[in-house]
Structure 1
Amino acid sequence: MTSATSAIDIDLVSDTATRPSRDMLARMMTAETGDEQRGEDPTVLQLCERIADLLGMDDALFLPSGTMCNQIAFLVHCRPGDEIIAADSAHVFGSEGAGASALAGAQFHTIATPNGIFDAAAVAAHIRTPRMRRPRSRVVAVEQTTNRGGGAIWPVEELAAIVALAREHSLAVHMDGARLFNAVVAANTPAKAFTAGFDSAWVDLSKGLGCPVGGVLAGSKDFIAEAWHWKHRLGGAMRQSGILAAAGLYALDHNIERLAEDHANARLFADIVRGLDGVTVSPENVVTNILFLELGARLDAADIAARLKEHGIRIGVEDPRRMRVVTHLDVTRAGVKQAAEAFVEIVQGMAA
């Protein structure tokens, strides 16, 4: 194990811990810029065009965060009193400050699912029969990959079935694509195959792609035109934001295919700790860059996290019996191995 230190040398709490590389910073420093709000920033325009093409959409909008991407999508799709169908573990439901209800006046009708993935039959069971005193079902939201579901990947066929059902009931379909490119690499499937038929979708730049900030929301020309209004209203104006968009362009060129390394590193961590007394790895088959550690009654997540931090290692604490590990480009394979071995040593020491 490493010597005790207060600094975090190996940060596996989230892939949001990534920082721009020297080469990415160099691209940012030489970016051509203009007033983005007037449609005059060539670097932002280029980024939006590339993302729209990758997702098979007509247009796209550069925004400061993924949460803003989700909330603007709901603001465009919904009216007060509408209902959004989503998994009970979805980020939009549990991790965005109840934004849909606070901003769009929409509520959630959640589907219980162990890994964040549901089928068309579950959606059908949650669609409200129209009546004056009932909320109106308006949007089906899916998350690719599923965060709380341990990085699970939605199959293209299941997404297509949900889109078809939504069309039958005049519902919009929205994809929270925070880790869509992880699914693209792990499943060897183009992004536009996952988003086919969707009314809106977005991708995060500041997670596995390693950018300092930003997400790109895509949809039809009319959808993005309306999204621009909400961008202004919510304070999303970024002016000469080409310096940020340049990081996204660099990431699209250099940081997508390498996500496979993060997936392999997550499996390495799982393999090292699997079989440890009092610890269960979830999901059993790690497919992308997220895994959870379910702890037995004699182990405490906060205690383990504090001991790891003494050695410059940080992993997430979900609750007293659950921890989360997220691999990314800023932690090498050797670092992941070191963190997993430190976790094993600490747990074994606590048991002894």
Structure 2
Amino acid sequence: MTARNKLVLNILLFVSCVLLAGGALLYNYSYKLCWKCSTHEYYQRGKEFVTHADDELQHTGVDFIRLAADHGDVEAQLLLAESHAPSLPQGYVSTTPIAQEMLTPLVIRSRAIAKTLLSEAYNRLYAASNLSADQLYNMALLVEAGLIDRDNPGEATHDLLIQAAEAGNYPAMSRLGNDYHQKSEYALAKKWLRRAAEAGRDPQPALTLGDYFYYGKSESVNYEKAMHWYRLALQTQRTLSARDSEQQRLAAEDIPMARIDMAMRQLQKTRMQAPLTLTYHLSGDAKNYQIFVSDHPEGPIGEVTTIAQEVVATMDNSITLALSIPVRKKTFHSSNEGLNWVLQSYARSRYGSYSRFDFKLVR
């Protein structure tokens, strides 16, 4: 073999070794290369890598998440912020709890870093009206905790809680109901407690509403409505404790059962009392008239109209009807039937279905 051929062969062998080594190196570190990755794809890869057991892969994941966060990926900023935070407000819910749990030991705990990232991410999402109900609630908690700055933190927190509750966030509904209750603003408390109770996540809102009607907080005492909410509380509790032991279920149901028994006793007493006399007067003519009662000076409680051969009785919209009265308008064969329905509907709604009434017309 000539010297020239040997030289060529050596060069080829050298190039082959370099290519082989480069290929092996590329294979071993290919996970670090993402030639055409978008910012969000870096975040997705990083989130996947930090959940692996391999230390090097985890640290690569941290780098990818940081890169995505630096380039403005909101999800990366939130994950990184939640991991940097020494603590998050009670009730805050992470959208990526597993990745956060794995990432937290890999980064330093710094309130300042967390605050910067949380503020940037949430303010951008809020400005774009792109926050979910849960994120609105998270943001309210962060503002309250001072992790997002506002000129008036108390007012901003309250506004965010209302937005979260309107969007369907249960903790926000429950908290608003409790906050208004503590301030004795029962009308507003009732609005949010009702929505929280109907969500069926906790029996307490329904119990509180039942107490409103039992004790007459912002409402006339109405044991029938109190029973409705106490029974809903019991139903919710039974659903929540369905998988508990019998002893645990009975213990959990004790409070709503006691409230139901309490309201039932009052209903029984009411049924034994003498009829309640309600005076009323009419305004109009024989075919079309409005009905007024002495204990509702704000205006008419309803009206009766006759069109052709049809008599229609209608409850006024200002009257909050009992749950047992499903409609505000009903058709009858006679004007007297319509009048009686309006009076009975009003009385039952205000004083309860178990009360007895004596209606007296005054001129």
Shared fold, TM over 0.5:
no
Between structures 1 and 2, the one with greater helix share: 2
The structure, 1 or 2, with the larger RCO (C-alpha pairs under 8 Å, 6+ apart) is 1
Between structures 1 and 2, the one with greater strand share: 1
TM-score under structure 2 normalisation?
A: 0.20
